[in-house]
Copies of this chain bind each other. A is one copy, B any other.
Amino acid sequence: MANSKYEYVKDFEVEDNLMPHTWIVIRIDGRGFTKFSQAHRFQKPNDMDALLLMNAAAVTVVEDMADVVFAYGVSDEYSFVLRKTSTLYQRRASKLISVVCSLFASSYVMNWSKFFPNTTLQCAPAFDGRAVCYPSESILRDYLSWRQVDCHINNQYNTCFWNLVGSGKSTAEAQNILKGTTADVKNNILFDTFNINYNDLPQIFRKGSSIYRKKVERVVKVEDVSGREIKRLKSCVVVEHEDIIRESFWTNNPHILGGK
């Protein structure tokens, strides 16, 4: 076969299968989204449409890949958790990362006009991704807590910062005012100066977005012999903004990490 002369180049390909029986997290980040959000005039500190668009793209990924049991998003970042026993793409890191990132990106573009009907998409958005494995459910939960704590810290800071800037401070002045302040001080600035109760801000800003399958009762059209409607449990993908650090979320949803 003519091709065989060159086929030795395949020997340079390397295996990158992730460790079996560990939780795989694919975390993706918008590339250059500071610039991207300015170019498309995203609102500060949070643009609701931009977040909903991120969520729509993430839902595409979760619905497409059955092994993704949970996704958590904040700002221009999303984490996708694959079940511990997943053998998708033989757990090859590059395959998993590239499919998640490209599927997310194309869904992001396809959904753009739904959330930004009056804004032309000016350039092709890109997302960088990485794969990380966690050997136990407990460490995986710590990973997710890490991201939600980060969401809270960043949101609180940014809410203060942009309100200060909106009130006429320069960015340097705003930075200076917030430097080294505790959570309490930031909350007081928001309340005293801007009459904002931090806890009244939308959950999506404060808690980020969690995507997972939920068993919901659905009335099925087909009737049983007695003519009554049948209710069936049907799994569907939901987007919530709950506290995922607390034990209660996971005990209320044991199927997410424990289910087969």
Contact = CB atoms under 8 A, between A and B. Distances in A.
B142 A6 contact: yes
A69 interface: no
A6 B149 contact: yes
A214 interface: no
B135 A31 contact: no
A98 B95 contact: no
A165 to B, nearest CB: 24
A123 B149 CA distance: 34
A150 B7 CA distance: 10
Count of this chain's copies in the oligomeric assembly: 4
A102 B105 contact: yes
Q: Top 6 A-B pairs ranked by shortest CB distance?
A: A135-B135, A6-B146, A102-B105, A98-B129, A103-B126, A107-B124
Given A21-B135, A28-B98, A64-B126, 9 more contacts: A2-B149, A2-B183, A6-B142, A19-B135, A28-B102, A99-B127, A102-B104, A106-B125, A107-B124
26 contacts: A2-B149, A3-B146, A3-B153, A8-B142, A9-B139, A9-B143, A12-B19, A12-B132, A12-B143, A13-B130, A14-B19, A16-B93, A19-B133, A19-B135, A22-B135, A28-B102, A31-B99, A93-B94, A95-B128, A95-B129, A103-B105, A103-B124, A106-B108, A109-B109, A110-B124, A135-B136
